[in-house]
Amino acid sequence: MPVMTLQIGAEPEIRLPVRPGETIDAAFTRAGYARRRKGCRRGGCGQCLITVLHGSVTDDRPVAVTVLPPAQRAVGGALACRAVPQGDVVVRADAGSIRCVSPLQKELALRELARITTTTVQEGS
């Protein structure tokens, strides 16, 4: 299971598990995080723009080039509502654009992360 490292502004980065096929949006929403501006959640408004610093993502559905121009993609731009991590990713979001709204969900996601990390280590040993 891929791990997403999320950097929100200058906050300490957080690592969250991404289930197969989950978008970045779906993964952090499941972990109790919410975007300040939820936007259309269908790739039409560009409000969920984030930067993928490491790793790669693919869009689960087509995204209009007017919303995410190739030049923006080339520098790591991606729409969180459409981008599905292909393996581990490091993702950067603007300060205050995403925040934790459900601490218990975050706790559960972190437990899931601990489980998969342990499994990976055992498989590796």
DSSP-assigned beta bridge partners for residue 49:
79
Q: Does 111 bind another protein (CB under 8 A)?
A: no
| DSSP-assigned states of every residue in 39-55 | --SSSSS-TTEEEEEEE
Where would I find the H helices in 31-94? Answer: 70-74
**37 is a site residue for another protein (CB under 8 A):** yes
Q: Is 64 in the site for another protein (CB under 8 A)?
A: yes
Contact between residue 109 and residue 30 where contact means Cβ atoms under 8 Å apart: yes
Q: What is the CA radius of gyration of the chain?
A: 14
Which CB sits closer to another protein, 5 or 47? 47
- Total residues contacting another protein (rule CB under 8 A)? 18
With CB under 8 A as the contact rule, the residue among 19, 36, 54, 111 that binds another protein is 36
- Cβ closest to another protein, residue 12 vs residue 21: 21
Binding interface with another protein (CB under 8 A): 36-45, 47, 61-67
